[in-house]
Amino acid sequence: MTLALRDVGKEYGRLRVLDGIDLTVAPGEFVCIVGASGSGKSTLLSLIAGLAPATRGTVTLDGEPVTGPGPERGLVFQSGALFPFLTVAENVAFGLRLLPLPRADRAARVEWYLREVGLLPLAGALPKELSGGQRQRVAIARALACEPSVLLLDEPFGALDVQTKEDMQLFLRQVWLDTGTTVLMVTHDVEEAVLLAQRVIVLGCDPGRVAAEVPVTLPAERPLEIKRTAGFHALRSTVEDLVRANMSTR
């Protein structure tokens, strides 16, 4: 799977939110998009998810143009957006139930993903009974169960406390290593981006455009302690400076 954006632009009325975005994500990559608030990160992700049409340019997945939302581009919202009236297991099964799958096959898949995100004991719980971190795990499992070609995440850990956030970051990285799914994640947390991604895209403001691209030259093995190394600090500073330099001047 290759995700490709060619000269993509988005306007809301006269407001130019995105302009001339060129971006390619290769199969199995983990890419993070960072940028100041209002730079158009969420807008970009919703274009890729097919929830809003681009006003210019093309978004393609394996050469196929994106025309609407679909399970091959799973999206995880900041709020999780779990179906509150379904249990954890039913949430994870949502996409699978829309497909002609034998019941046993579906159950096995749901169980595998619940185990992967460590929520098998909570399979029968309702979303209101979960903590914020657990909710995000369900949201990620729900998207992954549809075996997306690319997993899109919009600030999935933005609402979590620092400890839970670190847990979830390690968890997401592990899921990526386990499943080999391509991941494109939006965040405003530069540290998170550098810790997780192989490549960090910096979005500039007014209008949103790709301002810079920083390859993350860290080893594949990334325990939390890596944040204390000089290499990590250097990368983090580089990206932070780029974000700051490309902030809105308005």
Partner 1 sequence: MTGGRGHGGGHGRGLLPGRVQFAAHLAGALTPARPPAAAATGAGREGWAPLPRRAVRARPSGRGLPGRAKWALRAASLLVPLAAWLVIGGAQLVEETFLPSPAAVWAAFTEMLADGRLVSDTLASLGRVGAGFGLAVLISVPLGFVMGMSAAGQALFEPGVGLLRYMPASAFIPLLIIWLGLGEASKVAILVIGVVFFNTLMTADVVRKVPGELRQAAATLGATSGEIVRKVVWPHALPGILDAMRVNAAAAWNLVVVAELVAAESGLGYRIVRAQRFLQTDTIFAVLVVIGLIGLCIDVLLRVLRDRVGRWSA
Ligand X SMILES: Nc1ncnc2c1ncn2[C@@H]1O[C@H](COP(=O)(O)OP(=O)(O)OP(=O)(O)O)[C@@H](O)[C@H]1O
Cα dihedral 140, 214, 158, 58 sign: negative
**146 is a contact residue toward partner 1 (CB under 8 A):** yes
Rule CB under 5 A: choose which of 8, 10, 34, 42 binds Mg ion: 42
Residue with smaller CB distance to partner 1, 113 or 210 = 113
Q: Which amino acid is at 140?
A: I
Binding mask 199-238 for Mg ion (x = CB under 5 A): ----------------------------------------
Binding mask 149-178 for Mg ion (x = CB under 5 A): ------------------------------
Residue 248 tokens read as 């809105």
**Of these partners, partner 1, ligand X, Mg ion, none, which one is at the site of residue 38 (CB under 5 to 8 Å by kind)?**
ligand X
- The whole-angstrom separation of Cα 213 and Cα 37 is 18
Q: What are phi and psi of 159, to 5 degrees?
A: -100, 10
Residue with smaller CB distance to Mg ion, 33 or 235 = 33
User: Bridge-partner residues for 150, per DSSP?
Assistant: 73, 182
**Of these partners, partner 1, Mg ion, ligand X, none, which one is at the site of residue 43 (CB under 5 to 8 Å by kind)?**
ligand X
Binding mask 38-67 for ligand X (x = CB under 6 A): xxxxxx------------------------
- In the region spanning residues 78 to 137, those forming contacts with partner 1, defined by CB under 8 A, are 79, 81, 83-86, 94-95, 98-99, 126-128
Binding mask 156-175 for partner 1 (x = CB under 8 A): --------------------
Residue 148 CB, shortest distance to ligand X, in Å, is 21
**35 is a contact residue toward ligand X (CB under 6 A):** yes
Residue 174 CB neighbours (<10 A): 11
Enumerate binding residues for ligand X (CB under 6 A).
12, 15, 17, 35, 37-43, 188
Enumerate binding residues for partner 1 (CB under 8 A).
49-51, 68-71, 73-75, 77, 79, 81, 83-86, 94-95, 98-99, 126-128, 142-143, 146
